[in-house]
Amino acid sequence: MLSIVLFCVLGMALLLNFPVAIALGISVLITIITVPGAPPISSLISSMISLSDSFTLIAVPLFVLAGEVMQTGGLSKRLVNLAFHLVGKVRAGMAYVNILASMFFAAISGSAPATVAAVGSNLIPQMHTLGYKKDFSSALTASSGMIGVLIPPSIPMIVYGVSANVSIGALFLAGIVPGILLGILFAITSRIIIGKSLDNHESRNLSADLIKESTISVFKNAFWALLTPLIILGGIYGGVFTPTEAGAVAVVYAIIISIFVYKELTLKQLYDLLFSSAKVSARILSLVLFSIAFGRLVTIAEVPQQVAMALQSVSDNPIIIIAMLNLLLLIVGMFMETIAAIIILTPILLPVAVAAGVGPLSFGVIMTVNLAIGFCTPPLGVNLFVASSVSKVSVNQISKAILPFGFSMLIVLLITSYFPESFLFLVNLL
């Protein structure tokens, strides 16, 4: 009875277009009031306070702020320019620039939509002038943006680590290989799609732009921006500071470089960034807070055990169970915001995955890849809408153009699901 009321109220609240955090809170409150034997609200509030008092969670607002400062302060622009000089001279070079720039920015922001906005605003117009179709450029940018939640630092992985009590540093390491693999497959897909459709118009324009400034000069200009991911990851894995402390270091470093070195960030802009990042962080952390109470009720109702029994009644083969988990997560990713999905589903699905022989660390990567695909699939598809707003191409057109990149995403999903050694070796090595 408890689980039925809980999920029915949640579903109704979401259908009525309530924010996910409010929907979680309403479902918990109504369940407590209406279901006999439900735990008292005082115990849930106590759990919310004790479990949300987490040092690790502070990393979320810090990395959100760091990403916004770096985008406004000129760091992302210089990384895009560097990618342009590194891989822009070959045929389909601007497609490779788009992917590489997304990977650079992913190592700074930890956010897929932020990556699409930063890279797309710089590159989609340039790609169009060089002969690329706008729907292709937009689809590539939306796809490459999903790398932002795999290559560390990753905000969804931080939230999963808190929810599942898994090392954030280990999750960051585990996400590197899938992120790089996605970039490689996107590059191959781009080259196949483009083929010989671009004439020498692209190479002539690229050559003219590249001559304006030498690669060495561009590298020097991007040097301080390139140091950012090295400081963050080097500090974490060198044992100098924790992921949360790395977020604080990233914020301070980004502000200093943006104001005093690149001189593209004013105090007025910094104030606006503090306000905008606070709104984003408040939304994420309110989700975490209400999800703690929701997760407590889910556990009391024995939902994880019921889900495990339902899946095992279909098959006790681990390969089949993992496939069903992937299918469920892919569908959820199409309709639910990533952070909310992680918070709600981790306590339900993690026990099922562990019973199928998937460790908590591996499942974190599998879940993140699944939900990252949701950034690129309608109807939610946040990356699609961000790319559409930048390029002025309709979401429908981008959705059709993104289908070839979807095959690359599914290949990476299959590799991470059934060959966890492909990314765990890096964790074991370090």
Question: Which pLDDT tens digit goes with each residue over 413-428?
Answer: 999 999 999 999 988 8
pTM of structure: 0.81
Q: Where are the domains of the chain?
A: 2-429
Mean pLDDT on 44-67: 77
Cα separation, 204 vs 218, whole angstroms: 20
Locate 307 and state its tokens.
Answer: 């889900």
pLDDT in tens, 373-404: 988 988 778 889 889 988 889 989 999 999 99
How far is CA 170 from its chain centroid? 16
**CB-CB neighbours of 256 under 10 Å:** 14
pLDDT in tens, 96-113: 989 988 888 877 777 788
Residue 7: what pLDDT?
A: 84
pLDDT in tens, 232-276: 878 887 888 888 888 899 899 999 999 999 999 999 999 999 998
**CB-CB neighbours of 412 under 10 Å:** 24
Average confidence score pLDDT of the chain: 85
Question: DSSP letter string over 312-339?
Answer: HHH---HHHHHHHHHHHHHHHHHHS-HH
Q: Return the higher-pLDDT residue of 214 and 78.
A: 78
In this structure, the dihedral spanned by the alpha carbons of residues 211, 212, 217 and 220, taken in order and rounded to 10 degrees, is: -120
Mean pLDDT on 41-61: 75
How far is CA 28 from its chain centroid? 27
Residue 186: what pLDDT?
A: 95
Residue 282: what pLDDT?
A: 83
Q: Report yes or no: 206 and 88 within 8 Å, Cβ to Cβ.
A: yes
| Least trusted range by pLDDT, from 28-32, 72-76, 363-367 | 72-76
